[in-house]
Structure 1
Amino acid sequence: MNRHRVLTLVLLGCVLQPPAPGLAAPVSTIDADAEQKTLVDRLVLDRATTLATAEKRAFDRERTLLAQLDERDKQLRRSLAQRKQSEADAASTRAELLHVTAERERLVADIAARDATYRAELAEYRRIIASLASSPSAERRQDLARYADGDRIGAFPVLEARTRAEEAAREKANKLKAAEEYRQLAALAADMKDRGEKTTDEVVRLWQAAAERDPGDLWTWIFLARLHQEAGHTVEAGDAAARALHAATQPRDRSVALNTLGDVQVAAGDLAAARKSFEDSLQIDRRLAAANPGSAEAQRDVSVSLNQLGDVQVTTGDLVAARKSFEDSHQILTRLAAANPGSAQAQRDVSISLNRLGDVQVAAGDLAAARKSFEDSHQIRTRLAAANPGSAEAQRDVSVSLNRLGDVQVAAGDLAAARRSFEDS
C-alpha cells in the first residue's frame, strides 16, 4: 500500500469513525454509541456512493461496483429487518453485510485518495449527520434511521417539520427568558419610580418590552394598565386591562383582571361598564370562597371586590346597594380579624371597612349609624397605635378617624364632641 493511500485511509477513518473514548463507558452507553456510529457510517457511505455516481467522481468500474454493493447492502438489511431467518442464517447475513460495508469503505477510500474535494465534502457531511444522530431528541434520531433505511421521501419532510418546530420552540424560550429579565428590570424601575428616581413612562417602557416578548403574561398587562392609568393614558390603560383579561386562564386571575378593568373604566367615566366588571369579579370570588371556606385569601378577595363594587355604586348614586356591599365586606373582614386576633393588618382592614361604611351612611343621611361606625373604627385604631407607638402610620390613622368622627358630629349638631375630636386629632 503506497504512502498516499495510507494517509487517505487515516483521513477517511476520521470521517467514518468517531474518536476513541478516554474512559470506559457503561454497556448501555457503549451500545448506544455503537448504534449511533453504525447509523452515521451508513449515511456517510450512502452519500459517498451518491457523490461518486451523480458527479462522476469515480472511474466507471468503481461506480458500477459501488452501485452493486449499495444494492446488496439494502438487500441484506431488508433480510435482517424481516427477522424470518434462522439464527445461523442471520449470522451469515450479518457477516456478509460486514464484508459489503468493508468493500464500500475501501472503494470510497480509493476515490478520496484521488479527490481532496470529495474527501472534504464527506468529512463535512459526517460532521452534520453525526450532530443529527446525537440529537437529544429521540424522535429526530428515529426520523434519521427511517431516512437511512431508504424512506427518504417520508422521513425528510418529518425532519424538516421537526426542525421548524424546534426552532420555533427555541425562539419562544429565548423570548420568554428575555421577558422575565425585562420584568425583573421593570420591578426594580418601579421601586426607583416610587423613590422619585425614574418616571412612569420609563417603567412603562420596560413592561412593554416584556409584553412584546411574552404577551400571555397576566401580571405584565395588569401592571401596564395601572401605570398607564397613573400616567393618564386612558386608551392604553383600557387596552392593557383588556389584554390582561384575555390572558387570564384561571378563575382568580380573571377576577383580578376584571377588577383592574373596572378601575380603568371608572377612570374613563364608564361607570356602567365598571359596575358590570366588578359584579362579574365578585361572582367569581364568591364561587371560589364557597368552594374553599377555610381560605382567608379567598374570603378577603370577596371583600376587595365588594369594596370596589361599593365605590362605583356610591359614584352612581345607588347608596342602598353600596351600603349593602360595604356591610357584607365589613362582616367578612370582621370574621377574618376574629380568626387572627394577633394580626394588626386584619384589625386595620376592619377599621377601613368601618370608615367606608360610615361614609356611605353619611351620604344616605343616617348620621347615627355613621357616628357608630366611625367611633368603632377610632377605637380599633387607638388600640393599634397604643400597641405600636413608633408607627407613624398608626398615629396618622388615629388622626384620620378623629377627623371623620368630628365631621359627622358636626353634621349631627354635637359641636362640643366635634371640637374634642378635632382637638385630639
Structure 2
Amino acid sequence: MRNATLLLPIALVPVAASAETALSSREANLVQSVTFQSAASEAALKRLYDTKLNEQRNRLLAQEGTLKQLRAQAKAAGAAAGAARARADELERRLAAEKAAFNDALAARDAEFARFAATSARIFETRDGAAALKLLLLNTPDAARQARDLLRLAADREAAADARAGAVRNAARWRDSAIQTLDQRDKGNLTTLQAIEDWEAVVATGAAEHWDWVTLGRLYVDQNRLGDAARAAEKAAETATDDRDRSVALNELGNILVQRQDLPGAIARYQRSLDIAEALAKLDPTSAQAQRDVSVSLNKIADVLVQRQDLPGAIARYQRSLDIAERLAKLDPTSAQAQRDVSVSLDKIADVLVQRQDLPGAIERYQRSLDIRERLAKLDPTSAQAQRDVSISLDNIADVLVQRGDLPGAIARYQRSLDIRERLAKLDPTSAQAQRDVSVSLNKIADVLVQRQ
C-alpha cells in the first residue's frame, strides 16, 4: 500500500559491473531475502495461489524466526557463543539456498515477479546495491527512503560518469531503481510522489518502453494530474509493440477522456480496445488474460453508457463482463484478482439497479461484493487497494440504506469506511485519491447527520 533526501554515511562507488563490485556470499543471500520478502512476491502468490509454494513460504518464515532466536542467543552468550553462532550460520546458509529455489520457482510461474526478481539481481549485485538491500531488509519507511536515495544517487552518478552509456542502458538502470520504489510504495514505505519522480527519471532518458508510460500515467491519475496522465497515455500508445499493448493504451486514453467528460472520445477508444481484446480472445480462447481483457473493456464501455443514461445497454455489457469474471473465478477460485473482478462487476450492476429503483436487487449485489472484498482484505491486510475496495462497498450499501430511511445502519457503515480511508490517507499523504476519499466520507456522514436532526 506507498520526500526528503537522506544522505547516508556510506562511501559511494561507481556501479559498473566488475569483479571489484561482486557481492560476497553473505550479500548474495541478502538479495534472495529482499526478493523473498517483497510485495512483488506476495502479489505473485495471490495471483496464482500454489498450495505447495505457500506452504514452503510459511515454513521459511518460521525458520527465519528460529534464526533470529539463534542470533539473539549468540549475542547474549558473548565469548561462549561459538556453538550458537555456528548453528545460526548453518541455518542461514540453508535458508538462503531454499529462498533462492523458492524465488526461482515463483519467477518461473509468474512473469511480473520474474521481472522484479531479475531487476533485484541486477541492482543489488553492486556495492551501492548491497548497502541499499541491507536497508530494505529493515522494512521501515525511513530505511526505504534511505535505500531509494542511495539507488538514485548511484543511477545518476553512473549516467554522468559514463558518457558513452546509451539511452537504453540508462533507462534500464533507472527502471531497476523505479521498480524497487514502486514495490516499497505498495508496501506502504514510500509515497506516490516518490514513485512518480523515479518513473519520470526513466522516461527522461528518452528510451522509455510502453509499460513505463502506462505505470507513470496511472501514478499521475492517482495525483489527479490529468494533463500529465494524458501525455503518458499517448506515449504508451506510441511505444506499443503488440496488439495487447495497443488495447491497454486505448483504455488508458479512454480513462482520461472520461474524467475530462469527453464521452464520445472515450467510448470510441474503449470500443477499439474491445475489438482488439475480442480478436485476441478468439485467437486464444484458453487465455485467462485475453478473456479478462474483454471483461475490462466491456465494463468501461458500460460505464460511459450509464453516463449517457443508456441503462439497458449498460447492464447488458455489465452482465457479459460478470459472466466472464465468474467463469474465470470458478476456473481459479484462489485468484484474488479473479475474485475482485467479480466484485467489481457486481457493484456496477447494482449501481444500475439503484438508478432503476430496484433497491433490494442492488443491496443484494452490493453485499455479495462486500463479502468478497472483506475476504480479500483479510487475506492481504497490507494491500491499500483491498482496504479501499472494502470502504467503497461499505459506502455503496450505506447509500442504499439512506434511501430506505435506515439512517443508523447507514452512518455505521459510513464510519467504518471513513476509518479505513483515514488510515490509507495517513499511509500515503501524497495520494490525491486517498485524500479525496476521506473528504467524500466526511460529506456522507455530515449529510446523514443533517437528516437526523
TM-score of the superposition, structure 1-length normalised? 0.50
TM-score of the superposition, structure 2-length normalised? 0.47
Larger radius of gyration: 1
Higher relative contact order (CA 8 A, sep 6+): 2
